Amino acid sequence: MEVLIYLVPMALLLGLTGLAAFMWSLKNGQYDDVQGAAFRVLSDDDIRK
């Protein structure tokens, strides 16, 4: 049970780190153009005939 003294703060720290990374990606516009990425996948500009 003494290991919980280490595991609970580490889990909280990892969770807060993930939340901070997600909030940072929202702030920097990572998810602004959702449809554009879908159309770029279908684009075949790099295929030469």
Which pLDDT score, from 0 to 100, does residue 46 have?
Answer: 65
pTM for the model stands at 0.65
Mean pLDDT for each 10-residue chunk of the chain (49 residues)? 95 98 94 79 68
Q: How far apart are CA 28 and CA 8, in angstroms?
A: 30
pLDDT the model gives residue 40: 77
Contact 47, 41 (CB under 8 A): no
Domain boundary assignment for the chain:
4-42
Residue matched to tokens 């990606």? 25
- Predicted pLDDT of residue 17: 98
pLDDT at 42: 77
